[in-house]
Amino acid sequence: MKKRVFSGIQPTGIVHIGNYIGALKNWVAMQDTHDCVYCVVDLHAITVPQDPVAFHENILRTVATLLAVGIDPKKSILFIQSDVPEHSELAWILNCFVYFGELSRMTQFKDKSAVRGQGTSVGLFDYPILMAADILLYGAHEVPVGEDQKQHLELTREVARRVNSKFPNLFVVPDAYIGKMGARVMGLDDPSVKMSKTASSDSNYISLADTPDQIRNKFKRAVTDSDTAVRYDEDKKPAVSNLLTIYSAFSGQPVDAIEKDFTGKGYGDFKKALGELVVEKLQPLQKRIADLLKEKQELDAILAEGAQKARDLAAPRMKEIRRRLGLGR
Ligand code: TRP
């Protein structure tokens, strides 16, 4: 029996090369070794206000992006969270096992609520519980998550153990999966923070939807370090090291081979080559995304099938959970 993996991605519209290299490449690779369930978490996204028209476009664009990078609906279950109402139901139940203080201590909540102030929704507070429900509903053994979601996964594990202490073996306690390809990509304008679509400037990231000229320009403007050598040194040369990581991920070459190719050349040449490399690699991907978005019926059929497969797993699980807790008839 293969181990089950669950992971989710928010449909915010922008998927950047950090998501692609750091997370999605692992999602694709795991399809051959695991039983994978991948979810576009639209219910998580409404914890902050969304414009319905743009939001819906973003959901479909995210699905198209996942398909384009290589998520194969024949190998994996790919679906949209709100198509499976059991996620919300289990989230409610788990709410009753988690304490106010625990959610108050989540660093992501503290950061986001500090920005939103009085506009902080209860949903934003409850976000980690919905995430726990996503994972526990499918009995996932492993969850690929980035650094920023580790605390949420820790809470998921704690909730699973807590419920299990009253209702033995009800939930699988999931492990974090640290991917082989798990490169951490930092901001192009600031290598001390992770590449992020919520960064204050869009020079921070390369979106999979950026045009060739945007990509070239962003790499051209990317910050570098004080000396001139193209050499990997995370402590002393964080900016160039980050660019080398990106070069290596897109070319498939090890970092030392790239360093050799660029000995005696300056940052300018290196950044230019990097821009061309990324443009060349992203172009076919961008074309596939655009083509998929034109095939709305085909997308819909894929999602309907994914939702059905997910519900076939979720519904009996939910029935069992209700029964064990003594809910209902
Ligand atoms: N919170 C995750 C993020 O923002 C997305 C997510 C939702 C998720 N449910 C999940 C990730 C379940 C892993 C497992 O990245």
What is the SS3 assignment for the chain?
A: CCCEEEEEECCCCCCEHHHHHHHHHHHHHHCCCCEEEEEECHHHHCCCCCCHHHHHHHHHHHHHHHHHHCCCCCCCEEEEHHHCCHHHHHHHHHHCCCCHHHHHCCHHHHHHHHHHHHHCCHHHHHHHHHHHHHHHHCCCCEEECCHHHHHHHHHHHHHHHHHHHHCCCCCCCCEEECCCCCCCCECCCCCCCECCCCCCCHHHCCECCCCHHHHHHHHHHCCCCCCCCCCCECCCEHHHHHHHHHHHHHHCCCHHHHHHHCCCCCHHHHHHHHHHHHHHHHHHHHHHHHHHHHCHHHHHHHHHHHHHHHHHHHHHHHHHHHHHHCCCC
Across residues 191-218, what is the average pLDDT?
Answer: 91
Across residues 268-286, what is the average pLDDT?
Answer: 97
Dist. CA 6 → ligand 1 center (Å)? 9
Which residue's alpha carbon is nearest to atom 10 within ligand 1?
A: 8
Across residues 226-231, what is the average pLDDT?
Answer: 92
pTM over 0.75: yes
pLDDT of 200 strictly over 80 = no
Which residue's alpha carbon is nearest to atom 3 within ligand 1?
A: 9
What value does the mean pLDDT of the chain take? 95
C-alpha span between 257 and 323 (Å, rounded): 59
> Regarding the domain delimited by 202-290, which CATH topology (the fold level of the hierarchy) does it fall under?
Tyrosyl-Transfer RNA Synthetase (1.10.240)
Dist. CA 100 → ligand 1 center (Å)? 21
Q: Which atom of ligand 1 is nearest to the CA of 146?
A: 15
Across residues 255-274, what is the average pLDDT?
Answer: 96
pLDDT of 140 strictly over 80 = yes
Higher confidence at residue 293 or residue 22?
293
pLDDT of 199 strictly over 90 = no
pLDDT of 181 strictly over 60 = no
Work out the widest C-alpha separation in the chain, in whole angstroms. Answer: 76
pLDDT value of position 184: 84
C-alpha span between 39 and 56 (Å, rounded): 15
pLDDT value of position 221: 95
List, by residue number, the catalytic residues.
112, 194, 197
Dist. CA 5 → ligand 1 center (Å)? 12
**Which segments of the chain belong to CATH 3.40.50.620?**
4-178+296-325
pLDDT value of position 233: 94
Which residue's alpha carbon is nearest to atom 14 within ligand 1?
A: 7
Which residue's alpha carbon is nearest to atom 11 within ligand 1?
A: 8
pLDDT value of position 11: 96
Q: Which of 24, 48, 111, 149 to mutate to test the pocket of ligand 1 (most atoms within 8 A of CB)?
A: 149
**Percent residues over pLDDT 70 in the chain:** 99
**Which segments of the chain belong to CATH 1.10.240.10?**
202-290
pLDDT of 179 strictly over 80 = no
Scanning the structure block, which residue is given the tokens 């499976």? 84
The reply to whether CATH 3.40.50.620 applies to domain 4-178+296-325 is yes
Do 162 and 97 contact (CB within 8 A), yes or no? yes
Q: Which atom of ligand 1 is nearest to the CA of 148?
A: 15
Q: Which atom of ligand 1 is nearest to the CA of 144?
A: 13
Dist. CA 44 → ligand 1 center (Å)? 8
Identity of the residue numbered 114: A
The pocket around ligand 1, CB under 6 angstroms, is made up of 6-8, 10, 41, 44, 131, 134-135, 143, 145, 149
Q: Which atom of ligand 1 is nearest to the CA of 41?
A: 7
Which residue's alpha carbon is nearest to atom 13 within ligand 1?
A: 7
Q: Which atom of ligand 1 is nearest to the CA of 128?
A: 1
pLDDT value of position 182: 58
Dist. CA 261 → ligand 1 center (Å)? 38
pLDDT of 99 strictly over 90 = yes
Dist. CA 38 → ligand 1 center (Å)? 10
pLDDT band at 180 (very low <50, low <70, confident <90, very high): low
